[in-house]
């Protein structure tokens, strides 16, 4: 079995990858995560996922390194992690009644030969019209300050939506597992094989 590295410090991504019952280590890559001038959300998510994985390549020879990054977008505006209650309330107010798309870049680097594959999966949520009271109460209860878009779909955030669209709900949390399994199987790793 090849050694796996998750190029991330995200507890959400570690929890998702652990669902596959594969042995892995996680290591935080240190890259500049700012968007380039005029860079589209899909391109940004893909580039950051690739840069995260490649940033660790020199430290882990003969490993498979998984890089992932997520960019949220509402009406052409990028939504980052709010960091504060006030910013979370502002983001949710802007999202109320609108579609927010989460573009999650995924890169698998094989340090044996430095080959890599990068894909981007999109998952969208459609917000209900939310009252100021609902938004404030949600932020107080779920504390989504470290989440792009200011919500946790795996928690109470589900109460904010009319509907969700996409192939893999894990994409919304930060790691598209269906695509990841596909990429790992191409490298001979199958979570369902002995």
124 by Cβ neighbours in 10 Å (0-12 / 13-18 / 19+) ranks as middle
Domains and CATH numbers, the chain: 3-186 (3.90.950.10)
User: Whole-angstrom Cα distance, residue 19 to residue 78?
Assistant: 29
Residue 39 pLDDT: 93
Count of other CB atoms within 10 angstroms of residue 190: 12
Give the pLDDT mean for 161-190: 95
CB 65 within 8 A of CB 53: yes
Kind and range of the H or E element at 41? helix 41-55
User: Whole-angstrom Cα distance, residue 191 to residue 116?
Assistant: 20
Which residues, other chains included, contact 193 with Cβ-Cβ below 8 Å and sequence gap of 6+?
Answer: none
* Predicted model pTM: 0.91
Give the pLDDT mean for 91-109: 97
* Residues known to be catalytic: 69
Residue 116 pLDDT: 96
Residue 148 pLDDT: 86
Question: For a pLDDT cut of 70, what percent of the chain falls above it?
Answer: 99
User: Whole-angstrom Cα distance, residue 163 to residue 85?
Assistant: 25
CB 59 within 8 A of CB 130: no
Which residues, other chains included, contact 189 with Cβ-Cβ below 8 Å and sequence gap of 6+?
Answer: 1, 2, 4, 22, 64
Residue 80 pLDDT: 85
User: Whole-angstrom Cα distance, residue 127 to residue 163?
Assistant: 7
Question: Which pair of tokens denotes residue 152?
Answer: 């946790």
**Phi/psi at 101 (5° precision):** -105, 135
**Phi/psi at 61 (5° precision):** -70, 150
């Amino acid at each position: 079995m090849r050694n796996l590295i998750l190029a991330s410090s995200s507890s959400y991504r570690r929890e998702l990858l652990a669902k596959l019952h594969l042995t892995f280590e996680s290591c935080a890559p240190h890259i500049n995560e700012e968007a380039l001038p005029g860079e589209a959300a899909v391109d940004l998510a893909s580039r950051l996922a690739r840069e995260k994985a490649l940033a660790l390549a020199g430290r882990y020879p003969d490993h498979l390194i998984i890089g992932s990054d997520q960019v949220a977008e509402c009406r052409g505006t990028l939504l980052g992690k709010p960091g504060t209650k006030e910013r979370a309330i502002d983001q949710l107010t802007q999202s109320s009644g609108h579609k927010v798309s989460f573009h999650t870049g995924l890169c698998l680097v094989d340090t044996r030969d430095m080959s890599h594959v990068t894909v981007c999966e999109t998952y969208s949520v459609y917000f209900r019209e939310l009252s100021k009271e609902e938004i404030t109460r949600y932020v107080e209860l779920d504390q989504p300050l470290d989440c792009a878009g200011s919500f946790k779909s795996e928690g109470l955030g589900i109460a904010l939506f009319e509907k969700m669209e996409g192939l893999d709900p894990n994409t919304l949390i930060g790691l598209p597992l269906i695509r990841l399994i596909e990429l790992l199987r191409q490298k001979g790793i199958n979570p369902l094989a002995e």
